[in-house]
Amino acid sequence: MTATAPAPRSSAAAAPNPRPAAARARRRGGVGGAALTTLTWAIALVFVSPALWLVLTSFKSEAIAQTDPPTLFFQPTLDQIAGVIDSDFLPYLANSLIATLASTALVLLLGTPAAYALSIRPVKRTKDVLFFFISTKMLPVVAVIVPIYVAAAEVAMLDSIWTLVVLYTAMNLPIAVWMMRSFFLEVPSGVVEAARMEGASLPRVLWSVMLPIMAPGVAATALICMIFSWNEFFFAVNLTASQAATVPVFLVGFITSEGLYWAQLAAAATLASLPIVIIGWMAQRQLVRGLSMGAVK
Reply yes or no on whether the pLDDT at 266 is more than 80: yes
The HSE-up count of residue 263 (CA atoms within 13 Å, CB side) is 19
Reply yes or no on whether the pLDDT at 94 is more than 60: yes
Question: CB of 210 within 8 A of CB of 192?
Answer: yes
pLDDT at 297: 43
- Give the CATH number of domain 86-291; options: 1.10.3720.10, 3.30.2130.30, 3.20.20.240, 3.30.420.40: 1.10.3720.10
pLDDT at 108: 93
pLDDT at 149: 93
Average pLDDT, the chain: 81
The percentage of the chain sitting over the pLDDT mark of 90, rounded to a whole number, equals: 27
Reply yes or no on whether the pLDDT at 109 is more than 80: yes
pLDDT at 202: 74
Peptide bond connecting 69 to the previous residue in cis, omega within 30 degrees of 0: yes
Domain boundaries, the chain: 86-291
For the stretch 234-258, what's the b/e string if a residue is b when 16 or more beta carbons lie within 10 angstroms of its beta carbon?
ebbebbbeeebbbbbbbbeebeeee
pLDDT at 289: 59
pLDDT at 246: 93
Amino acid at 22: A
Grade residue 18 by pLDDT with cuts at 50, 70 and 90. Answer: low
Grade residue 248 by pLDDT with cuts at 50, 70 and 90. Answer: very high
Grade residue 31 by pLDDT with cuts at 50, 70 and 90. Answer: low
What is the Cα–Cα distance from 65 to 280, expressed in whole angstroms? 29
What is the Cα–Cα distance from 207 to 213, expressed in whole angstroms? 10
What is the Cα–Cα distance from 216 to 183, expressed in whole angstroms? 9
Backbone angles phi, psi at 290, to 5 degrees: -70, -45
pLDDT at 11: 47
Reply yes or no on whether the pLDDT at 203 is more than 70: yes
Question: CB of 293 within 8 A of CB of 219?
Answer: no
Grade residue 296 by pLDDT with cuts at 50, 70 and 90. Answer: very low
Reply yes or no on whether the pLDDT at 13 is more than 70: no
Helix axes 284-291 and 215-231, enclosed angle (nearest 10): 100
What is the Cα–Cα distance from 263 to 165, expressed in whole angstroms? 31
Amino acid at 89: F
pLDDT at 179: 86
Grade residue 4 by pLDDT with cuts at 50, 70 and 90. Answer: low
Q: Give the model confidence (pLDDT) of 212-242 as tens digits.
A: 888 888 888 898 899 999 999 999 999 998 8
